[in-house]
Amino acid sequence: MSLLALCQWLEKTAWSIALHESLWVYPIVESVHVLTLCLFLGMAVMLDLRLLGLVLRRVAMSHVMGQLMPWMIAGFTLMVISGALLFYAIPVRTYLNIFFRIKVVLLILAGLNAWIFQRTVYRRVAEWDLDPIAPKWARRASVASLAIWSMIVVAGRMIAYNWFDSPDLH
Amino acid sequence: MSLLPFFEWCESTGVGEAIRNSLWLFPVIESFHLLALALIGGAILLVDLRLLGLAFRGRRVAELATEVQPWLVGGLLVMIATGILLFTSEAIKCYYNAAFWTKMTALFPAIVFAFTVRRKVAGADENRLRPLWLRVTALVSLSLWTVVGAAGRWIGFSG
């Protein structure tokens, strides 16, 4: 089954229709998705700024990471759940939307960036834990993270606009 | 006195008209509004979570608050600037929009509270304040900002 066929099937399920047509639930899920930006991205930004030496310079990097990580994980979980529900409510249109596809690619890049950071320069954090500014490769990961997540927010916001939607959809 | 003429004037300005007539401007400004939201959210949550005793327990509140303050102020400035631009493009819609008025009604106390009571509490010597007051301050702050954020999102749903 192709992805499109899967989305077409999803769209016909009763819960998808109910969510799409709901007066309150859909807007609430959407609001949760937006407000969780504060929890997940807000904390990620603080972490990135710490790597750049722009905030909490006197706090050890590993301490900042340890304190923020549980909140970031909680925020990310809420983001994924609410995001999946938003997709489930409008599967076909979202799947065909160019900004949604850009967002998925950017999400993969953000994940890769975080994974590489954790596997390489952050492994040796003991060597630079108390430095006010993190080493070059950590700063590069931080700038990449800030750039990618900003683009994710922009792409996410753009999904709502139908400039490039296939004419068949309307 | 009705504020409607003022709202009508805002909508008739060249800026409002330019944003309204452009395909890209509104979403792009809105995206910056959202990015600033993340920044403000991080700066506020960091301190409020500390006040609640849920993060950075080993650090002084005053230190954390001072550290994030420039980012909070910067984020707020971007927020207000982009917010005014978005508003001018659809001021009359906002005038008849309950979510808009809810947001503004919560925004004013949220900002005042952040720069008066919360700032005082966060800067005070923690040993001289009862922990209860730290928690109450954080809860008031979080509640006000949540209303601002949720009502803000709701402007787009109604009308």
User: Is a pLDDT exceeding 70 seen at residue A168?
Assistant: no
What domain range includes position B23? 4-155
For chain B, report the end-to-end CA distance as a whole number of angstroms. 24
Structure tokens at A163: 């400039």
Q: How many domains does chain A have?
A: 1
Distance, CA of B140 to CA of B144 (rounded, Å): 6
CB pairs under 8 A between A and B: 89
Q: How many domains does chain B have?
A: 1
- Judged by CB atoms closer than 8 Å, whether chains meet at B27 and A55 is answered as no
B42 interaction partners in chain A (CB closer than 8 Å): 38, 41-46
What domain range includes position A101? 3-169
In A55-145, where do the E strands start and end?
Answer: none
A44 interaction partners in chain B (CB closer than 8 Å): 42
Distance, CA of B19 to CA of A169 (rounded, Å): 27
Position of tokens 């009308």?
Answer: B159
List, for residues A22-70, the tens digit of each pLDDT value.
989 999 999 999 999 999 999 999 999 999 999 999 999 999 999 999 9
| ipTM field | 0.92
- Judged by CB atoms closer than 8 Å, whether chains meet at B41 and A59 is answered as no
Question: Nearest by CB to A46, which of B42, B153, B157?
Answer: B42
- CB A139, CB A133: distance < 8 Å: yes
Model pTM greater than 0.80? Answer: yes
B49 interaction partners in chain A (CB closer than 8 Å): 71
Q: Which pLDDT value is given to residue A170?
A: 53
Between CA A97 and CA A104, with CA A101 as vertex, the angle to 5 degrees is 140
**Predicted confidence pLDDT, tens digits, chain B (159 residues):** 689 999 999 999 999 999 999 989 999 999 999 999 999 999 999 999 999 999 999 899 999 999 999 999 999 999 999 999 999 999 999 999 999 999 999 999 999 999 999 999 998 887 788 889 999 999 999 999 999 999 999 998 875
Q: Which pLDDT value is given to residue B157?
A: 84
B58 to chain A: nearest residue by CA?
A63
* Mutation site for A-interface testing, chosen from B28, B29, B31 by largest number of A Cβ within 10 Å: B31
B43 interaction partners in chain A (CB closer than 8 Å): 42, 46
**CB distance from B59 to chain A under 8 Å?**
yes
Position of tokens 């207000």?
Answer: B80
**CB distance from B98 to chain A under 8 Å?**
no
